[in-house]
């Protein structure tokens, strides 16, 4: 039997704890988490804030009680701030100030990530909000009940920022979305796709302040009243800052090997550079199959799988991660966009020359009547040298999201665009066309 300490109990930590407790009951599992709740799905935050769901209860899928029922010892509001890797001791304190000192045989770091704070004057003004935890979302929900909160600036055009901008606009607020980049969603899609979403948001009344750098939060009577950028000033009653996250890797940062952004570097077993110490989730690196190298891609789906891998390895069963492709998706004003792997622009950044295979068509044959038959646009990114698929982007008002899983697998298995063109894909009018958009995009690449 081994004593396994897990520091952090959100997505990666919860997956890890569940896997150990379900499969290796002989081990002692002790958990320390500085928060007061477990497993909050921040990806559903905008749905709650925007009143698309009535309450946040469903955004939690585990609890202290459910994990304890499986045999784990869960300590909430417990901050670990020191690790002696040589003696295998963790130290910290509880919320009430009482001290923690505990020993381990194996240690799993699941410390997650923290919001990036823009270092400008006015950060301490009232109604400057950050969004990551349940408590953050709850604060925003409560403040939206105040009639004086009419104008909101959302800082950051990533997934969370875009979703929150839509949510606030649907609630009737005046919204400005500010980002340093020229387009929203810049890291997930290429500009032609990004502009489709950006123009849609603008047409629905969201002011798009792209290419603007925030310089100051201006206050009045202790509350935020405006955001000053290098291109102008935007009057606001509340600021939502969601410009990104960084790995929470302060614990052991001087002892453990870290990535360029500070994340713990791990191998495919989730092992760090110190024996018997593992790292999972947003605090750790991943193996990115699209570039065949270590990378940092913070997604809940990646976190869950890393937790499962670590759980088996720490318990004595050796398994390796198969790597990730960074698959993700978003829906705003009924426009669905999904992606996996590299964009053309990302590939350029890695020095990879690529070509593109594109196609646009309706999902089902034109003769199908009285059925939903949305147009789907697909963009496949493949290497110029060996024609291996390294990325895919799709958009539609129709739910075509399931198709992106195939492209995630294609990247992992190093499928070429030529193989895709001749891949056995079934046809039935209720579902698709005999020459569907995936096949046609592949055929376009081998003309």
* Catalytic sites, residue numbers: 11, 43
Gyration radius (Cα) of the chain, Å: 23
In three state form, how does the secondary structure of 330-374 look? EEECCEEEEEEECCHHHHHHCCCCEEEEEEEEECCCCCCCCCCCC
Closest CA to 307 of 280, 276, 278, 269: 280
Phi and psi at 134, nearest 5°, equal -55, -40
Q: What is the distance between the alpha carbons of residues 288 and 295, in angstroms, rounded to a whole number?
A: 6
Instruction: Say which DSSP state 87 is in.
Output: T
CB 279 within 8 A of CB 267: no
Phi and psi at 24, nearest 5°, equal -135, 70
Q: What is the distance between the alpha carbons of residues 138 and 86, in angstroms, rounded to a whole number?
A: 41
Q: What is the distance between the alpha carbons of residues 339 and 341, in angstroms, rounded to a whole number?
A: 7
Element (H, E) at 152: strand 151-155
Q: What is the distance between the alpha carbons of residues 131 and 8, in angstroms, rounded to a whole number?
A: 18
Q: What is the distance between the alpha carbons of residues 294 and 324, in angstroms, rounded to a whole number?
A: 10
């Amino acid at each position: 039997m081994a004593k396994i300490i897990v520091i952090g109990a959100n997505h990666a930590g919860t997956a890890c704890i569940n896997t150990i407790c379900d499969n290796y009951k002989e081990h002692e599992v002790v958990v320390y988490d500085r928060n007061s709740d477990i497993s909050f799905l921040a990806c559903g935050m905008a749905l709650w804030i925007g009143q698309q769901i009535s309450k946040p209860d469903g955004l939690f899928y585990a609890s202290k009680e459910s994990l304890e029922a499986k045999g784990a010892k869960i300590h909430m509001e417990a901050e670990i701030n020191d690790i002696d890797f040589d003696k295998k001791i963790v130290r910290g304190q509880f919320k009430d100030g009482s001290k923690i000192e505990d020993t381990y045989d194996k240690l799993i770091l699941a410390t997650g990530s923290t919001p990036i704070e823009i270092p400008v004057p006015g950060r301490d003004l009232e109604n400057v909000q950050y969004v990551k935890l349940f408590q953050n979302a709850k604060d925003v929900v409560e403040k939206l009940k105040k009639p004086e909160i009419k104008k909101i600036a959302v800082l950051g055009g990533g997934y969370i920022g875009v979703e929150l901008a839509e949510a606030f606009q649907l609630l009737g607020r005046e919204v400005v979305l500010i980002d340093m980049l020229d387009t929203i969603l810049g890291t997930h899609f290429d500009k032609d796709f990004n502009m489709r979403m950006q123009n849609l948001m603008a047409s629905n009344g969201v002011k798009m302040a792209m290419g603007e750098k925030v310089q100051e939060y201006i206050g009045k009577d202790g509350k935020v009243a405006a955001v000053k950028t290098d291109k102008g000033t935007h009057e606001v009653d509340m600021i939502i800052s969601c410009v990104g996250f960084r790995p929470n890797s302060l614990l052991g940062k001087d002892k453990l090997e870290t990535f360029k952004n500070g994340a713990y570097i791990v191998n495919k077993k989730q092992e760090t550079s110190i024996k018997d110490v593992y790292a999972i989730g947003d605090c750790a690196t991943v193996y990115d199959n699209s570039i065949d190298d270590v990378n940092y891609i913070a997604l809940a789906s990646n976190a869950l799988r890393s937790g499962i891998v670590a759980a088996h390895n720490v318990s004595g069963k050796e398994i390796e991660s198969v790597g990730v492709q960074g698959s993700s998706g978003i829906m705003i004003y009924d426009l669905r966009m999904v992606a996996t792997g590299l964009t053309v622009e990302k590939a350029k950044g890695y020095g990879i020359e690529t070509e593109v295979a594109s196609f646009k068509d309706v999902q089902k044959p034109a003769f199908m009547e009285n059925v939903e038959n949305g147009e789907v646009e697909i963009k496949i990114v493949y290497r110029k040298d060996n024609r291996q698929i390294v990325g895919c982007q799709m958009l539609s008002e129709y739910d075509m999201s399931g198709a992106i899983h195939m492209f995630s697998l294609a990247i992992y298995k190093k499928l070429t665009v030529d193989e895709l063109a001749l891949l056995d894909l079934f046809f039935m009018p209720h579902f698709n066309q005999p020459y569907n958009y995936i096949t046609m995009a592949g055929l376009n690449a081998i003309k």
